[in-house]
Amino acid sequence: MSVQERKQRERADRERLILATARELAEQQGWDAVTTRRLAERIEYSQPVLYSHFRGKREIIGAVALEGAAELAAALRAATSATDGPRARVTALAHTYLEFAARNPAVYDAIFELDGGLAFPHEDTPEPLKDAFAALLESLGEVAGDGVHPGLFTEVFWAALHGLATLTRAGRLPPEDTEPRVELLVDRLAML
């Protein structure tokens, strides 16, 4: 291995460590606790080393959002590919989405709530964000109904899931009623 390759590998390892530590800290204490100073202390590197990877917290949030979007897309595809029929796919998609949001609140916030400097929905939207939407569209597009644009239907269904996720997490909706809410979404919105 050349010196250049070793340095690139070490840089990639440091970047993964920074992001993993930021995620851990954010999940434990919230994003307000994630500062470059605290990250530098936890990973035992200087703040200038952190700044050589990310210009600041905003870029760290953006990088966590991209990782999280890829994880969400993979989880949605795994759940929907393990089912048969449109109703089962849409139900699995809804449960997986809500479970992801509940298990990973800081990552979910990085993707959908916080400013990570990422463009939504534009031509320059990063690929992981496009792919997360595509993972929703793959199952929801098939149930959009006659005369309904599949992308528009997916946006509305996604908005409903996002509302359920954020309202439940905020304590505005009781979590024990998640199943009837998902059934209502599938029955009435997807009309399955």
Q: Output the CA torsion sign for 82, 97, 95, 147.
A: negative
**What is the tens place of the pLDDT at every residue in 35-46?**
999 999 999 999
**What is the tens place of the pLDDT at every residue in 71-121?**
999 999 999 999 999 999 999 999 999 999 999 999 999 999 999 999 888
Choose between 131 and 123: higher pLDDT: 131
pLDDT (mean) for 23-45: 95
Q: Is residue 67 pLDDT above 90, yes or no?
A: yes
Query: What does pLDDT average to over the chain?
Result: 95
Q: 134, 11, 117: which is closest to 65 by C-alpha?
A: 117
With vertex at residue 155, the alpha carbon angle to CA 151 and CA 159, rounded to the nearest 5 degrees, is: 170
How many other C-beta atoms lie within 10 A of the C-beta of residue 63?
21
How many other C-beta atoms lie within 10 A of the C-beta of residue 190?
22
8-state DSSP, 89: H
How many other C-beta atoms lie within 10 A of the C-beta of residue 10?
10
**What is the tens place of the pLDDT at every residue in 153-169?**
999 999 999 999 999 99
